[in-house]
Structure 1
Amino acid sequence: MWKLWPYSGRPTEPERSPAATYFESVPEMVKYMVEDVAGTGRNITMDRYFTSVPLTEDLLADRLTIVGTCNKRRQLLPKELTEASGREVDSSIFCFRNDVTLVSQCTKPGRLVLAVSTQHRAPLVDSRTKKPEIGPLTDQGPLTD
């Protein structure tokens, strides 16, 4: 762990809050958290609350790679990745944009897990587990709700 920032709720008077205790947006908070390692080539692992394609591209421009799950309701995600209807269980769909790789895996009927990575550039799927080789995908807990 590099930096910790406790969230104690939205302040009643944000303009009077101490510096770095209130952020207007999630990307602003993430950029604050990683500012000390920007430009170092390190990897940032995030969960679906923090991960988005624009933020991923911004951090990549700062020489930081990203691996994480992604909420299917995020903007800029192709419809083919976010709809589970008609998908076979254990099927994976990959999408590539610039240096960002997105993958959508159908883990159960009607259930998708989305992941984003700037470290992985090939559509690899483990032949034994049928999981995409992109990062920490799991069936534990609701990842796309």
Structure 2
Amino acid sequence: MSKNRFEVLLKTLRFDDSASRPVRRESDASAPITELFNSFIDQCQAVLAIGSCACIDEMLLAFRGRCRLKMFMPKKPTKYGIKIQCLTNARSGYLLNAYIYQGKDSDGLHLLREYQTLKKPTQAVMRLIPPIERSNRNITFDNWYTSIELIDSLKKKQLTGVGTLRKNQKEIPPEFLATRHRNVDSTVFGFTKDITMSSYVLIKNKAVITVSSIHHMPVVDETTKKPEIILFYNQTKIGVDLLDQRCSNYSTGRRTRRWPLAVFYRMLDISASNCYVVRLSTQPHGQKTETRFSFMKNLAKELTRPHMERRANNLKLQLIFEWLFDTSSTVTRKPLHQQFQVAVALKKG
């Protein structure tokens, strides 16, 4: 299509019924994009099942326009944007479930009443895990989500969890905190019936505290001197970060003041990333037969192929091409006034 037509379509593109939007917005702040976003998540869950390890983390979609969903996260590179809570495969970064964060007390939406009394990070995890409930998978999360309450809640869903704990958690014994008397590369373990806690001194007066319901032995790697829980955490925490990196490397996003369009751009980027993961899963032993850049180019060609074939078989376009570009003549293009006459005649029918 022409550039002007593309710009017109982009300006008029909408994702819901504007007539019923005010009513839906009373209970759903992301109403302009919710229906399409939920349909997209359903397709992601129908195409591929993730492996034995999952990862939960937040993704910040950069946006600085006017939006009630916009929030400030100083530790993120983009600082301002729309937060999306994500559940992905821990190693491949395939997105399985996600929802758009709508502000305070929105993590417990659509949850049972028994879960709405839990902590907000625990509610976020419980909202994301329905596709993998009772599958004995493991979930890795960072210290914003991790708590003993969350580990116990996952156990009821037949899931395990691994994560780092913040130092202000009341369940942490005083012996696990960093002191000047503890040596560097030393590890302290604590065990209950279902949970293992470890405290590893990375540098002087700084300890990394982790909790796991999948490790039950005080195993320490002889090379790095780190406990096995930390090594497992480092290997399985990159799922959402890997997806975010792929979306940033090859992005369809363009500058816009409409936040639903910004979310739509990110959905396109996630779709391309998920397609690439599905393509790799079909290769023998996960061999990488083509780069992601080549895959994106081939994907774009295949998506536009039906339109190009339809135009190639259009008899009117063939006649126009033969008339404008007469190969038997030394001058291959007709004069501009003759082209204009042809265009007017075709418009009249």
Question: What's the TM-score, normalizing by structure 2?
Answer: 0.35
Q: Does 1:61 align with 2:156?
A: yes
Amino acid at match of 1:25: K
Q: Distance in 2 between matches of 1:9 and 1:84?
A: 38
2:202 paired residue number: 107
Q: Distance in 1 between matches of 2:133 and 2:177?
A: 31
C-alpha distance after superposition, 1:11-59 (max 9, x if no partner): 7xx7xxxx45xx7722112111112212111111110000001210221
| Mapping 1:37-48, distance limit 5 Å | 37-48=132-143
| Mapping 1:1-145, distance limit 5 Å | 1=88, 2-10=96-104, 19-20=109-110, 25-134=120-229, 135-136=232-233
Q: Is contact 1:115-1:137 (8 Å) kept?
A: no
Q: Distance in 2 between matches of 1:5 and 1:75?
A: 30
Q: Distance in 1 between matches of 2:193 and 2:126?
A: 21
1:143 paired residue number: none
Q: Distance in 2 between matches of 1:137 and 1:111?
A: 18
Q: Is contact 1:89-1:108 (8 Å) kept?
A: yes
Q: Distance in 2 between matches of 1:96 and 1:109?
A: 25
State the structure with bigger RCO (CA 8 A, min sep 6), 1 or 2.
Answer: 1
Q: Distance in 2 between matches of 1:5 and 1:108?
A: 37
Q: Distance in 2 between matches of 1:82 and 1:137?
A: 21
Q: Is contact 2:178-2:201 (8 Å) kept?
A: no
Could you list the runs of 5+ residues in structure 1 that have no partner in the other structure?
139-145
Q: Which has the larger radius of gyration?
A: 2
Q: How many residues align?
A: 131
Amino acid at match of 1:7: Y
Amino acid at match of 1:38: E
C-alpha distance after superposition, 1:84-135 (max 9, x if no partner): 3311000000111121011000000011111111111100001111000012
Q: Is contact 1:94-1:103 (8 Å) kept?
A: yes
Q: Distance in 2 between matches of 1:106 and 1:137?
A: 16
Q: Distance in 1 between matches of 2:133 and 2:167?
A: 27
Please provide the CA RMSD for this pair.
Answer: 2.2
Question: What's the TM-score, normalizing by structure 1?
Answer: 0.80
Identical amino acids, percent of aligned pairs: 32
